[in-house]
């Protein structure tokens, strides 16, 4: 499968944080979810692709070096960052005049069509928008020049479930409208990613823990709940980590069908991506 974005051995060091040899791809026509706790390296990774911060390693966007072809590449990127600049004393209509100076493919008609669909006023000052309205506006700006790739950093953070669902529908439609399009989306709301992401990349303390198809992740991982005797019968190589409760053990495995055959467990619960993350970060081995 051809890739929209390729990252190889990306490294970045700060005083208290290291991005350590990050490598993964964003295949064309897919949505890749980037997960991890706050400070794990998600935003650093996205800013590396945008060449906002300088990193070691190689990054290619559509087989082009992201530094050597930065200007051309950014014309085909739609970006939503948590710290994206929006002047609070402009209107949505005023922003249209500014953005069409930045993007050669800026589509006025599409922009105002999205404003109507999202029920955003064109003549109201942005400072008077709610947080959900501001995020909708950021996303409208990101997609109104028909970009090939969306880079989204926590686009649904702090929004209510109804607004989040509206935005997820926009992302789905964006991909369905053109099979060449791709999305890289970071989020700590992993339930959103379960519904839309084709792949999940999990970063913890600057390192990739896993990079898996979402369907494989949810199908193969499981949580065994057992007593102490059954837990002690488990080979440590057969599980990822465990949590000891007052009355039972909970054990995360990544090959639940094999575990059920090998140890004759009758029930293995299906975990959420949130639960899988917690076992990796907080579980014992």
225-278 pLDDT, tens digit per residue, is: 999 999 999 999 999 999 998 889 999 999 999 998 898 887 799 999 999 999
On the question of pLDDT at 38 being above 90, the answer is no
Last residue of a domain, one of 214, 242, 264: 214
On the question of pLDDT at 43 being above 80, the answer is yes
Q: Are residues 205 and 254 in the same domain?
A: no
- The span from the CA of 178 to the CA of 118, in Å, is 21
Q: Are residues 110 and 44 in the same domain?
A: yes
Domain count, the chain: 2
SS3 240: coil
Mean pLDDT (the chain) is 92
Q: Are residues 100 and 237 in the same domain?
A: no
The phi, psi pair for 202, rounded to 5°, reads: -105, 115
Domain of 247 in residue numbering reads as 221-282
User: Which of 211, 167, 213, 222 lies closest to 189 in space, CA to CA?
Assistant: 167
Model pTM score: 0.93
User: Per 3-state DSSP, what percentage of the chain is helix, strand, and coil (rounded to 5)?
Assistant: 35, 30, 35
**Where is mean pLDDT largest: 21-35, 74-88, 125-139, 250-264?**
21-35
Q: Are residues 186 and 205 in the same domain?
A: yes
Decide: residue 14, CB within 10 A, 0-12 exposed, 13-18 middle, 19+ buried.
exposed
The CATH number of residue 118's host domain is: 3.40.50.300
The half-sphere exposure of 248 on its side-chain side, counting CA atoms within 13 A, is: 7
Q: Are residues 197 and 253 in the same domain?
A: no
Q: Are residues 129 and 241 in the same domain?
A: no
pLDDT at residue 84, as a whole number: 66
180-198 tens-digit pLDDT: 999 999 998 898 899 899 9
136-156 tens-digit pLDDT: 999 999 999 999 999 999 998
């Amino acid at each position: 499968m051809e890739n929209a974005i390729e990252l190889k051995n990306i490294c970045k060091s700060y005083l208290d944080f290291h991005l350590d040899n990050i490598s993964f791809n964003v295949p064309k026509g897919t949505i890749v979810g980037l997960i991890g706790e706050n400070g794990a390296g998600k935003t650093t990774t996205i800013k590396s692709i945008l060449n906002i911060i300088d990193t070691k390693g190689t990054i290619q966007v559509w087989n082009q070096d992201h530094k050597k072809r930065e200007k051309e590449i950014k014309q085909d990127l739609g970006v939503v960052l948590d710290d994206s600049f929006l002047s609070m004393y402009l209107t949505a209509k005023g922003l249209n005049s500014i953005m069409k100076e930045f993007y050669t493919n800026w589509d006025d008609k599409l922009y105002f069509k999205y404003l109507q669909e999202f029920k955003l006023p064109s003549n109201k000052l942005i400072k008077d928008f709610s947080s959900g309205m501001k995020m909708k506006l950021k996303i409208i700006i990101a997609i109104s020049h028909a970009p090939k790739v969306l880079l989204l950093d926590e686009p649904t953070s702090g929004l209510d479930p109804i607004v989040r669902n509206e935005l997820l529908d926009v992302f789905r439609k964006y991909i369905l409208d053109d099979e060449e399009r791709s999305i890289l989306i970071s989020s700590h709301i992993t339930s959103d990613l379960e519904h839309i992401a084709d792949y999940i990349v999990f970063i913890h303390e600057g390192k990739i823990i896993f990079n898996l198809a979402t369907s494989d992740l949810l199908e193969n991982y499981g949580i065994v709940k057992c007593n102490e005797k059954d837990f002690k019968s488990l080979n440590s190589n057969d599980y990822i980590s465990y949590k000891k409760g007052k009355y039972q053990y909970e054990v995360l495995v990544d090959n639940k069908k094999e575990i059920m055959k090998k140890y004759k467990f009758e029930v293995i619960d299906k975990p959420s991506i949130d639960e899988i993350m917690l076992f990796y970060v907080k579980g014992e081995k």
